[in-house]
Amino acid sequence: MSKTLPSTRTTGAPQVRRMRFRFGEPEPLNRHFADGDIVLSHLTALLSAAFPPGEDSFVRSVRRVSGEIDDPVLKKRAAGFIGQEAMHGQQHRLLNDQLVAMGYPLVRVPHFAPGSRREKALIRAENLLPARVHLAATAAAEHFTTMLARRVLTSPELQSIASTSPEVRDLLNWHALEELEHKSVAFDVYRASGGGELVRIGVMTIPYVGAIPFIAAAVGLSILTDPTAWRPVRVTRQAVGVLRGPLVKGLQAEIREYLRPGFHPDDIDTEPLVRRWQEELFGSDGELLDRVR
């Protein structure tokens, strides 16, 4: 039986927006679409590649325990979370098709279709985990994406870089907004299904220690597969810029906040940021109204 959550926690159900982006139209994407930044382009490509299978896994983790939740408000929030994550995966798959065609071979690795053998193998691996461990991993990943989303939506530098590829920028801004809208849903489902602090914190230690080194290694390998990126001086300078820039600098400290006993995602107030971007993207004159189906 689910537990009643404190009244101070977020209770609004995330809105599912059915989007349709048009990557490569009317102009094709440039090879290094992040304003010519090789490192940031490969980093963005690999994150986009990881989103569809990752978010499908997040959805399955919530569904595994949905029968244990009897709070009608939390059920609605979980349904909104599932709808938003499914739409993120769908739209990132469209971008990933473009990235593969542009010559990002590592994007192919997690770029598999629903129902494929690789997805079935992933599901079998997930089912070897206890349901609450799977859900704790989702809650940890959601904190990681929340921190990235905040950075995307608050950094003029990142917005300026992204503006050189408007359709990619619009995808990332929409995705970032919705990550903030549902940032506490998986966490609250975990808590309501009986998940405890020991497992929650223990599961986060893996991405806390390994995520940034793993991503850095993957970006380096991706650059090695791109002959147009073999410019050591330029790539080294750009790598230092990314590490010192608004996307990565201080990220580890923000991830560490999740390890604090008693932490809740709503301890980090993102409501003003959410309201601002909801209006900017989907208000009466919103930038993305023409992308909503």
pLDDT in tens, 228-287: 999 999 999 999 999 999 999 999 999 999 999 999 999 999 999 999 999 999 999 999
- Beta bridge mates, 292: 19
Confidence category of residue 89, pLDDT binned at 50, 70, 90: very high
Specify the pLDDT at position 11: 58
Q: Which two tokens stand for residue 45?
A: 């490509």
Average pLDDT over residues 212-228: 95
**pLDDT of 1 higher than 60:** no
Average pLDDT over residues 102-110: 92
Specify the pLDDT at position 26: 74
Specify the pLDDT at position 10: 52
Segments forming the whole domain that contains residue 193: 38-283
Q: Are 40 and 243 in contact (CB under 8 A)?
A: no
Pick the residue with more confidence: 220 or 114?
Answer: 220
User: Is 23 domain-assigned?
Assistant: no
What's the whole-number average pLDDT of the chain? Answer: 93
Confidence category of residue 129, pLDDT binned at 50, 70, 90: very high
The pLDDT tens digits of the residues spanning 155-208 come to 999 999 999 999 999 999 999 999 999 999 999 999 999 999 999 999 999 889
Which residue type occupies 112?
F
Which residue type occupies 252?
Q
Specify the pLDDT at position 293: 87
Average pLDDT over residues 90-103: 94
Half-sphere exposure of 49 (CA within 13 A, CB side): 22
Angle between helices 166-181 and 38-64 (to 10 degrees): 40
**pLDDT of 25 higher than 90:** no
Q: Are 18 and 288 in contact (CB under 8 A)?
A: no
**pLDDT of 5 higher than 50:** no
Average pLDDT over residues 40-64: 96
User: Is 163 domain-assigned?
Assistant: yes
Q: Are 287 and 280 in contact (CB under 8 A)?
A: yes
Domain count, the chain: 1
